[in-house]
Amino acid sequence: MAKQVITTSNAPASPFFSQGVRVGQTVYVSGMTGTDPATKELAGATIQAQTLQALRNCEAVIAAAGGSLADVAQATVLLTNPAHFGGMNEAYAEVFASEPPARAVTKLGVELPGVLVSIMMVAHLGG
């Protein structure tokens, strides 16, 4: 199967990674921070604001591939500070209120100015 690079102006972009890659019915979303793609600034200084924006960014990439958050099978959340786990969960639960995907949470290994969270996802499109 050939891979298809997914791009959208509705999520942060970089020359160093593809926003998403689709292989068959599976979409792999790169780690998305809480950066607002319109302003190129972090959505806020709180873990809640950045988590919600990171999830919106992931959603935008999946939508560009033809899917939705209902198609997400797995999410990996990377936190700069493990103490932010509760606040991240608070925001995460707003987006995935029922039947959330499988998830792992770990520590983000690199330090990026102001970044509190990065979220990667894998979605499976189609029945």
For residue range 7-23, what is the model confidence (pLDDT) as tens digits? 999 999 999 999 999 99
> For residue 127, is pLDDT > 80?
no
What is the SS3 assignment for 50? Answer: helix
Predicted TM-score of the model (pTM): 0.96
For residue range 52-66, what is the model confidence (pLDDT) as tens digits? 999 999 999 999 999
Check residue 16 and give its pLDDT: 95
For residue range 28-46, what is the model confidence (pLDDT) as tens digits? 999 999 999 999 999 999 9
d(CA 33, CA 100): 20
d(CA 103, CA 18): 22
Structural domains present in the chain = 3-124 (3.30.1330.40)
List Cβ neighbours of 98 (8 Å cut-off, separation of 6 or more): none
Per 3-state DSSP, the chain is made up of helix, strand and coil in percentages (nearest 5) of 30, 35, 40
Q: CA end-to-end span of the chain, whole Å?
A: 18
d(CA 127, CA 115): 36
Check residue 126 and give its pLDDT: 82
For residue range 71-109, what is the model confidence (pLDDT) as tens digits? 999 999 999 999 999 999 999 999 999 999 999 999 998
d(CA 77, CA 74): 10
